[in-house]
Amino acid sequence: MDLSIVTTLYASAPHLEEFYARTCAVAERVTSDFEIILVNDGSRDNSLEIALSIYRKDPRVRVVDLSRNFGHHKAMMTGLIHARGELIFLLDDDLEEEPELLEKFYEELKAKRADVVYGVQQKRKGKFFERVSGALFFKVFNLLSTYPIPPNLITARLMTRKYVAALMQHQEREFVISGLWALTGFNQIPINVRKHHKGASAYGLRQKLSHLVNAVTSFSGKPLVLIFYLGSILILVSSVAAFDLIIRRIFFGVMLQGWASLIVSIWLLGGVTIFCLGVIAVYLSKIFIEVKQRPYTIIRAVYEAKELPSVLNDRAFSGALLEQGKQQNTDERR
């Protein structure tokens, strides 16, 4: 198969039909041998019903129905596991990223002989808070991460089979997919694109802070190193202050007063200690999750033309899927 187009479904009912029509139109200009993989990430609306109606009309459509909502990034990785094309085009289905980008990315991939062509926003979409918080996320992440990611990165990307096979070798259960994209390497070419704005972002301040913490702690040990240096600096400063007090007392008979400053110091050091313990606890919780080796998604059913729904147990990164860098389609059946 020449091309696989992968997207995830969550509250996708209003735009899924248009997404399908536009995707088919642009894919047919690239190749006649393609498939569209729709991963239902526990959507609460009728996205699955619409996806199944499309699947019944078009044998090129495959629907992967997850047992619940596992999150956007894990759903995308599940879709990539099921992709069979020599080229894989990944994008969101909300039409903020135009399906027509496929043609532009394909021409760039051929011209540059790249492994990946991905989109970068020329200018961040949204209102002031969304633009500023998004820019801040990339700055903080790249400051603390060992593997920086391009600012204003979007989901849309065209990838070769070789790159996707390498991407699938990552076995984390806790991850941010943009970090895995950068970590995988290969020859990746950015293209400036315009991302449309279709309303307020689903990510509020709490979600964005949570995403930032998860992203940094999943891909970098720098916060732990910074804790070491912070502790070293505090020890140095307190040692100098203690030495100064001893000198004043012994040689000048001066005992400094100031309960307020003492209480402030205690609160400051207590806050720093709790913060550092919290950072360490986040890393410990990730270790706890990783060693349990749970599948990061569970599939309820796969709908494809060759046979009616087959219930699968997605073990995420099984050895069969990784062997020789080829996508295998021999999922275990219950």
Question: Considering the entire predicted model, what is its pTM?
Answer: 0.70
- What pLDDT does residue 237 have? 77
The C-alpha atoms of residue 328 and residue 312 are separated, in whole angstroms, by: 13
Interior CA angle at 323 toward 317 and 327, to 5°?
Answer: 70
Whether 208 maps to a domain, the answer reads no
How many structural domains are present in the chain?
2
Same domain, 226 and 198: no
Specify the amino acid at residue 11. Answer: A
Same domain, 160 and 257: no
Whether 209 maps to a domain, the answer reads no
Same domain, 59 and 12: yes
Same domain, 63 and 176: yes
Q: Which residues of the chain fall short of a pLDDT of 50? A: 307-334
Whether 142 maps to a domain, the answer reads no
Q: 3-state class of 138 per DSSP? A: helix
CATH number for the domain that contains residue 190: 3.90.550.10
- What pLDDT does residue 229 have? 76
Whether 84 maps to a domain, the answer reads yes
Whether 186 maps to a domain, the answer reads yes
Whether 80 maps to a domain, the answer reads yes
Same domain, 255 and 161: no
Q: Which of 73, 215, 206, 234 is nearest to 143 (CA)?
A: 215
Same domain, 56 and 164: yes
- What pLDDT does residue 17 have? 93
Same domain, 31 and 165: yes
- What pLDDT does residue 286 have? 74
**Residues sharing a CB contact under 8 Å with residue 201, sequence separation 6 or more, in sequence order:** 126, 130
Same domain, 106 and 47: yes
The C-alpha atoms of residue 176 and residue 200 are separated, in whole angstroms, by: 22
Whether 215 maps to a domain, the answer reads no
Same domain, 286 and 298: no
Same domain, 126 and 260: no
Whether 211 maps to a domain, the answer reads no
Same domain, 228 and 304: no
Domain that holds residue 246: 222-292
Same domain, 62 and 95: yes
- What pLDDT does residue 312 have? 38
- What pLDDT does residue 226 have? 78
